[in-house]
Amino acid sequence: MNNEFKLLTHFEFRGELRCVKFVETVKVRDGVECDVYEFDGNKDEDLGIIRVVEKMETPKQRVSLDLKFPIEFTEEGLVSGSGELIIDRFGGLVDVYVVNSETGRFSTLVNRGDEMKWKARKGGLVAYEVCRPPYQTGRYIDLD
């Protein structure tokens, strides 16, 4: 995957510019990569920068209902590009957020039991995900 996105040293989250430290890049699937970061001085949250190539999508994932995974929040948002975030809410509603760089900042919370997927449109997209507590295997269940 062509990585035109430079590694970050800072990230603005909820109006606060925070220092971040790169951990690793994970290939999620063809056309999807995630750069994993730690917030300096804060081990309570972590950051994923998700790059999705045009016309590709992330796997559909469900946020675990298993209470052995403590989950305070999962926030998804747009960094750049265009696409959509589809969230099948646990209660049966479906939220489809069509986002692009021109529409401005976007973020939303994803709750336990919700299923989510990012789809990239023309030019691809870069999204972010902040997990509190930090991501651990089992937090999400891949559905496709």
Q: What is the 3-state secondary structure (H, E, C) of 35-79?
A: EEEEECCEEEEEEEEEEECCCCECCCEEECCCCCCCCCEEEEEEE
Integer-rounded Cα radius of gyration of the chain: 14
pLDDT at 4: 59
Question: Residue type for 39, please?
Answer: F
What domains can you pick out in the chain, each with its CATH number?
10-136+138-142 (2.60.120.10)
Give the mean model confidence (pLDDT) for residues 48-77: 95
Over residues 76-127, the pLDDT tens digits come to 999 999 999 999 999 899 999 999 988 878 999 999 999 999 999 999 999 9
C-alpha distances out from residue 90 to 24, 94, 97, 101, 105, Å = 31, 9, 17, 28, 25
Q: Show Cβ contacts of residue 93 under 8 Å, excluding neighbours closer than 6 positions.
A: none
- Identify the CA nearest to 26 among candidates 50, 62, 56, 59: 50
Q: What tokens does 14 get?
A: 């909820």
- Taking the C-alpha atoms of residue 71 and residue 56, their distance in angstroms, rounded to an integer, is 28
> Which residue would you say has higher pLDDT here, 105 or 12?
12
